[in-house]
Amino acid sequence: MGKTSWFDVGFAINREQDLKWLAVAGRSLLDNCSQPDRVRFHILWTHLSPQDLRALEDSWSDSLSSCQFYYLPDYIGKRSNAPHYGYWFWTWFGNILPEEIDFLLNLDCDVMVRGDITELWSIPLQGKIAAAVWDPCARVYNYRDELSVLERAAGFEFSKDAEYFNAGVLFLDLAQWRKERVPETLDKLFASHRNQTRFYDQDELNLLLQDRVYPLSPAWNLIEPLEFYEKWDFGLYHGLDRPERYFEAKIQHFAGPHKPSSWLVRRSLKQEFYEYLDRTQYAGSRSDNDRSLLGRILTELLELHYILTRGFQQRALADTGQRLRRVLSRSPYLTLLYPAIPIYRGLRKLLGKS
C-alpha cells in the first residue's frame, strides 16, 4: 500500500449515551498516534445537538487537524430512521466521503486506542476488501449456528472454512467498497430478514464478505469479556500473533455490556480509560459503580483474577510478577477476598441445578 497524505478515521453515532465513549476513542487515538497532524476524523451522526458535536470537537481540538460531521439523513433520507438502522450507518461512508479517500479505519465508539493506527496503512490487504479481527466469542457461542437462519432466508452459505470477524474495528479498502456498492447490496439482500440477525450489520457482512477479509492480530480489536479470561480460544489466532503481544492491545474494545462504567472491566483498564476521559469535555464523569466502594473492590478482584488466569495459569502475559505486586501493594486485602470467588461459583452452580 502506497504512502498516504492522510489517515482517515470514521465513527458513527446516533445516541447521546455514546458521546463519552467516542470522546475517549478519539482522544486515545490521537495521543498514541505518531502523526496526529495527518489524522482526519469523519463522523456520521443523527439525534445529537450542535452542543454535543461541539463538545466532541473541543475534546480533540489540541491535536486534530480535521474533524468533519455528516448528518446522515442528508445523504440517505428517511432510511436512517428505520428501527436499529444505526448499526448500518457507517456502511455508507464510501458513498459520503470524497472519492479521493481510498482507505478508511472505521471504529466503534466504545474502543480505547492504545497503539499507533498509522501502522494499519502499511498492511498488505492482498486484494481483500477489509482487514479485521476474528471474534473470540464466535466459536464459544457458536455464531455459525445462529447465522444458519439468516443463511437460509437470504440464500447464502457461510463457508465451513470461514472465520467470523468482529466489525467494531475495520480497515476498509474504500475504493473497492464503493465499487461493490456494499451498503446497497446489504439492504437489497438482507433488509427483509433483519429481524433474524443477532448482530445486525456484523452478521450480514460476515455472510457477504467471508473470505474477502484480511485477518489482523487480535491486538487491533481485543475483546475480553469476563467469561473469556478462562475460555479464551488461543488456537483462533495461531500464526497471527503471540499472546503476550496481543494481550497488550493496540485497540481495546469494550464490546457489549463490558463498558468501563460497569464493574465488568478490570481496574487498570478503567483507570486508563478515565485518564483519557478527564482530558475531554466529559471530565469527571463517573458511574455509580465507579463511585461505590463495592464497585472498586469488584474491579480490583477482577484485575487479580485476570493476572492469575492470564499470567500464571496461561502464561500469556508479560511482566506477570510485576503486575501482581502492583495490584497487591495497592489492595492487599484481595488475598483474603479472592478465595470467595470459587465458593461463589460453586454455590451458583449448585443452586442452578437444584
Do 184 and 330 belong to one domain?
no
The answer to the question of residue 237 being in a domain is no
CATH of the domain at 92: 3.90.550.10
Mean pLDDT score, 139-167: 82
- Considering the domain architecture, whether residues 207 and 311 belong to the same structural domain is answered as no
Count, residues in the chain: 354
Low-confidence winner among 77-86, 228-237, 312-321 (lowest mean pLDDT): 77-86
Q: CB-hemisphere CA count at 13 Å for 70? A: 21
Residue 148 C-alpha cell reads as 444458519
Per-residue confidence (pLDDT) for residue 195, from 0 to 100: 78
- Chain segment 188-231, per-residue pLDDT in tens: 998 888 877 889 999 999 999 988 999 999 999 999 988 889 88
Helix axes 200-209, 143-154, angle to 10 degrees: 70
Read off φ and ψ for residue 253, nearest 5 degrees.
-110, 115
CA distance 156 to 208: 8
Q: Which of 193, 220, 247 is the last residue of a domain?
A: 220
Query: Are residues 178 and 59 part of one domain?
Result: yes
Q: Give the count of domains, the chain.
A: 2
Q: Which residues pair with 43 in a beta bridge?
A: 11, 69
End-to-end CA distance of the chain: 59
Give the chain's radius of gyration (CA, Å).
21
Structural domain includes residue 69: yes
Same domain, 68 and 212: yes
Indicate the pTM of the whole model. Answer: 0.93
- Comparing CA positions, the residue from 55, 64, 52, 70 lying closest to residue 11 is 70
How far apart (Å, rounded) are the C-alpha atoms in residues 237 and 337? 34
> For the purposes of burial, counting CB atoms within 10 Å of the CB of 326, is it exposed (0-12), middle (13-18) or buried (19 or more)?
middle
Answer yes or no: do 185 and 73 share one domain: yes
- Do residue 72 and residue 129 come from a single domain? yes
Which residue range is the domain that position 303 belongs to?
A: 257-353
Q: Is the pLDDT of residue 105 over 80?
A: yes
Q: CA–CA separation, 21 vs 124, rounded Å?
A: 30
**pLDDT-based confidence at 354, cuts 50/70/90?**
very low
Question: Does residue 138 sit in the same domain as residue 69?
Answer: yes
225 in a domain, yes or no?
Answer: no
Q: Are residues 60 and 199 in the same domain?
A: yes
SS3 255: coil
Per-residue b or e along 109-131, where b marks 16 or more CB atoms closer than 10 Å to that residue's CB:
bbbbbbbebbebbeeebeebbbb
The DSSP-derived string for 267-283 is HHHHHHHHHHHTTSTTT
Say if 22 falls within a structural domain: yes
Residue 186 sits in the same domain as residue 306: no
Answer yes or no: are the C-beta atoms of 10 and 107 closer than 8 Å. yes
Residues 209 and 321 in one domain: no
Taking the C-alpha atoms of residue 329 and residue 337, their distance in angstroms, rounded to an integer, is 15
* 107 assigned to some structural domain: yes
Say yes or no: 149 and 82 in one domain. yes
Instruction: Please give the average per-residue pLDDT across 39-58, as a whole number.
Output: 97
